[in-house]
Amino acid sequence: MMKPLTFTEEIVLLALDDQTGAQLPLPVTALAYGLAGAVLADLAVAGKIDTDEKKLVVLDATPTGDPLLDPWLALIAADNTVHPVAHWLSVLADRQREVEQPALDRLIDRGILKRQDKKILWVIGLRRYPTVDGHERTEVRTRLGQLILGEDLPDPRDAILISLLRGCRLTDQIFAGPEFASREQRLATLAKMDLVGREVAAATTDAIIALSSAMNTAVPHM
SS (H, E, C) the chain: CCCCCCHHHHHHHHCECCCCCCECCCCCCHHHHHHHHHHHHHHHHCCCEEECCCCEEECCCCCCCCCCCHHHHHHHHCCCCCECHHHHHHHHHCCHHHHHHHHHHHHHHCCCECCEEEEECCCEEEEECCECCCHHHHHHHHHHHHHHHCCCCCCHHHHHHHHHHHHCCCHHHHCCCHHHHHHHHHHHHHHCCCHHHHHHHHHHHHHHHHHHHHHHHHCCCC
- Residue-level pLDDT at 133: 60
- Kindly report the pTM of this predicted structure: 0.88
**pLDDT band at residue 135, thresholds of 50, 70 and 90?**
confident
124 domain residue, yes or no = yes
Q: For residue 217, is pLDDT > 80?
A: no
Residue 24 maps to which CATH number? 1.10.3630.10
Q: Is residue 182 part of a domain?
A: no
- Length of the chain in terms of residues written: 222
Structural domain span for residue 31: 7-134+195-207
49 part of a folded domain: yes
- Tell me whether residue 179 is in a domain: no
Domain count, the chain: 1
Beta bridge partners of 120: 124
- Domain assignment present for 160: no
Is the Cα dihedral 105, 108, 110, 112 positive or negative?
positive
Q: Looking at the DSSP assignment, which residues form a beta bridge with residue 23?
A: 16
What pLDDT sits at residue 132? 62
- Domain-embedded: residue 119: yes
CA angle 65, 70, 71 (to 5 degrees): 145
- Give 17's pLDDT tier (boundaries 50, 70, 90): confident
Residue 189 included in any domain: no
Asked if residue 184 belongs to a domain, the reply is: no
- Band (pLDDT 50/70/90 cuts) for residue 221 is very low
Q: How do residues 74-94 score in pLDDT, each as one tens digit? A: 999 999 999 999 999 999 999
Mean pLDDT of 149-165: 93
Give me the sign of the Cα torsion angle 115, 120, 123, 126: negative
Predicted confidence (pLDDT) at residue 220 exceeds the cutoff of 60: no
pLDDT digits (tens, 9 = 90+) for 180-196: 999 999 999 999 999 99
